[in-house]
Amino acid sequence: MAALCRGRHRWKRTSSLHVLTRTLTGNYDYDLVVIGGGSGGLACSKEAAQLGQKVAVLDYVEPSVQGTKWGLGGTCVNVGCIPKKLMHQAALLGTAVKDAKKYGWQISGPICHDWATMAEAIQNHVRSLNWGHRVQLQDKKVKYLNIKGSLVDEHTVKGLTKAGKEMTLTAKDIVIATGGRPNYPTNIPGAMEHGITSDDIFWLKKSPGKTLVVGASYVALECAGFLTGIGLDTTVMVRSIALRGFDQQMAGLVTDYMDAYGTKFAWKCVPKSVEKLSSGALQVTWTDTHTGDEHKDTYDSVLWAVGRAPETKALGLDKLGVELKKETGKIILGSDESTSVPNIYAFGDIGEGRPELTPTAIKAGKLLARRLTGHSTELMNYDNVPTTVFTPLEYACVGLSEEEAEKRHGKDGIEVYHAFYKPLEFIVAERDASQCYLKVVCERGGQQKILGLHFTGPNAGEVTQGFALGFQCGATYSHLLQTVGIHPTCAEEVIKVNITKRSGLDATVTGC
Ligand code: FAD
Ligand code: NAP
């Protein structure tokens, strides 16, 4: 029967008889169909294919509100980690060029930055990654389909091409890894019409110019950081606090550094409207919630960095009874990434309560593939996930914030070791190191198990990745003391830390 041929897509031919026959025989087009070719979906599909499964991955990018489009690879590759880190690097280079003069480099004339050159180079790199992903899928014999997928039943996916053509695929298992997209505020006139998001900023051909960034979490601070760093007049509008969920002492250091670096902050302010003037400038009106006063200013760009929403609406999940968390719209998952419907799994940014990070999506995807193919029973461990905020002064952490440790163990149940240190590189360059700081939050009793590690400074992510391994192995404060440093580095300051917060002693590191 044609409908039971494996590997052939049937255009508009799903019938109830077909579904019944298929269920009885267990014969499908694919062993696994993955909807979403981002960090997680690609990792899961490649792993399953390598383990002998017949796999298809569907990836389709709905253009942003402003019409920006991109290729295969999902958020991280196209509109997230990769272009963000490269723009962050562009900004760091600006600081390095200024430092270079102090180190004897003769640089004549003013230092200025050209957006178009940076953007073109980064966009070309992203395109090469898009191509690389296609080649990898081909090499690993994963069928890539540039179609928008939705669920018909627990074994059937309907795909829609850009041209509106429909196709149906059947699979033993279906994985949803469709990620999320940036939010726009719905109650602010002009917000959507005139504003951009992180889906657009990395693909602009022209400099965004004077920019208002609304929001105060990862995306907002990272974008505002690199925009300031390349010389643009940048303001961050914060409605409450910066970096909610992070250790607030560290968040304060990050924003203090940005403030000194040139980023402007409008604290406790909420935007009211965005209007395009005849000059083309965007006039933003906002309210200072502290005083109740209304203010206006004009910008070339308004970047909304007010959170992200899951891509679940178009998937037809409600018809199948896939349970979603009402407040967030994300899929409720078991520890094995199972949804409430058998044979349908999900992970990555679409999963309720999951960290919205690339490495967790990749690892969860690979582990799921191994479990689905019977090669392992290992579950993803979402505890102790390290992360870095790539702001001008980077901040990396693993484990609990001081506030959270205090909440769980009591103020007297924790010991916080801390240090203000000066990176050697800053000294000759005469850079202010007031916000270069680290703290190790430990249990107070016994071996002083480390509960949280926080670090601001150059290459914070590189420094913290290794410590995250120690953390995963259950490191204690005495393990830190037993570790020999690498000199001269910023990372060695972590293993040298010896002043407790409780002592009230000056935590400034002096000498080697
Ligand atoms: P995505 O990578 O979002 O992939 C989902 C894919 O599915 C997309 O290609 C989407 O178009 C596609 N899709 C959606 N619906 C359908 C459908 N119906 N049919 C077919 N395809 C569909 N994380 C870090 O770890 N480090 C960072 O430095 C970092 N920086 C970031 C910076 C920014 C600006 C942003 C926005 C995010 C950043 N992240 C970072 C987060 C990281 O990008 C995400 O956590 C990660 O990409 C999530 O992977 P995913 O596989 O769940 O989804
Ligand atoms: P987010 O963490 O959800 O933060 C949203 C921010 O916008 C908060 O500061 C919030 O303020 C503010 N906000 C929300 N609605 C607003 C409104 N109407 N007006 C003004 N401000 C508003 O979102 P995100 O920064 O987009 O990041 C999403 C996820 O992507 C993160 O959780 C992270 O996991 C991932 N990411 C990771 C990296 C990295 O690893 N380096 C980088 C970028 C993104 P309140 O605090 O007041 O709610």
Bridge partner residues of 166 (DSSP)? 160
Ordered per-residue pLDDT tens for the chain, 512 residues: 333 333 333 333 333 434 443 444 468 999 999 999 999 999 999 999 999 999 999 999 999 999 999 999 999 999 999 999 999 999 999 999 999 999 999 998 888 999 999 999 999 999 999 999 999 999 999 999 999 999 999 999 999 999 999 999 999 999 999 999 999 999 999 999 999 999 999 999 999 999 999 999 999 999 999 999 999 999 999 999 999 999 999 999 999 999 999 999 999 999 999 999 999 999 999 999 999 999 999 999 999 999 999 988 889 999 999 999 999 999 999 999 999 999 999 999 999 999 999 999 999 999 999 999 999 999 999 999 999 999 999 999 999 999 999 999 999 999 999 999 999 999 999 999 999 999 999 999 999 999 999 999 999 999 999 999 999 999 999 999 999 999 999 999 999 999 999 999 999 998 77
Shortest-distance ligand to the CA of residue 360: 1
Active site residue 194: no
Query: In angstroms, rounded to a whole number, what is the distance separating the alpha carbons of residues 406 and 309?
Result: 31
Specify whether 418 is located in the same domain as 341: no
* Cα atoms in the 13 Å half-sphere on the side-chain side of 425: 11
Alpha helices (runs of H) in 373-423, residue ranges in sequence order = 402-409
b/e per residue 297-331 (b: at least 16 CB within 10 A): eebbbbbbbbebebbbeebbbeebebebeeeebbb
Radius of gyration, alpha carbons of the chain: 25
Is 218 marked within a binding site? yes
57 CA from centroid of ligand 2 (Å): 29
Q: Among candidates 203, 200, 224, 205, which has minimal Cα distance to 213?
A: 224
What is the Cα 373 distance to its own chain's centre?
Answer: 29
DSSP category for residue 338? B
Specify whether 248 is located in the same domain as 165: no
* Cα atoms in the 13 Å half-sphere on the side-chain side of 347: 33
The structural domain count of the chain equals 3
CATH for 424 = 3.30.390.30
Q: Is the CB of 394 under 6 A from ligand 1?
A: no
CA distances from 45 to 33, 69, 219, 267, 465 (A): 8, 23, 28, 44, 26
Task: Give ligand 2 pocket residues (Cβ under 6 A).
Answer: 185, 214-220, 222, 239-240, 244, 270, 305-308, 355-357, 387-390
Indicate which residue's Cα is closest to atom 18 of ligand 2.
185
Q: Is the CB of 314 under 6 A from ligand 1?
A: yes
Specify whether 359 is located in the same domain as 224: no
CA distances from 18 to 4, 6, 424 (A): 8, 13, 70
Specify whether 217 is located in the same domain as 333: no
Judge whether 403 lies within some domain: yes
Name the residue of 33, 130, 333, 358 whose CB sits within 8 Å of the most ligand 1 atoms, as the mutation to test its pocket: 358
Specify whether 348 is located in the same domain as 410: no
Contacts of 211 (CB under 8 A, 6+ apart): 224, 227, 232, 233, 234, 235, 299, 300, 301, 302, 303
Q: Measured in Å, how far apart are the chain's first and last C-alpha atoms?
A: 77
Q: Is the CB of 208 under 6 A from ligand 1?
A: no
DSSP category for residue 251? H
The answer to whether 357 touches 387, Cβ cutoff 8 Å, is yes
CATH for 280 = 3.50.50.60
Specify whether 219 is located in the same domain as 286: yes
- Domain's final residue, options 260, 275, 306: 306
Q: Is the CB of 357 under 6 A from ligand 1?
A: yes
Range of the domain at 350: 34-66+129-181+316-372
Specify whether 275 is located in the same domain as 321: no
Judge whether 479 lies within some domain: yes
Bridge partner residues of 274 (DSSP)? 284
Specify whether 296 is located in the same domain as 331: no
Q: Is the CB of 200 under 6 A from ligand 1?
A: no
Shortest-distance atom of ligand 1 to CA 40: 51
Specify whether 425 is located in the same domain as 480: yes
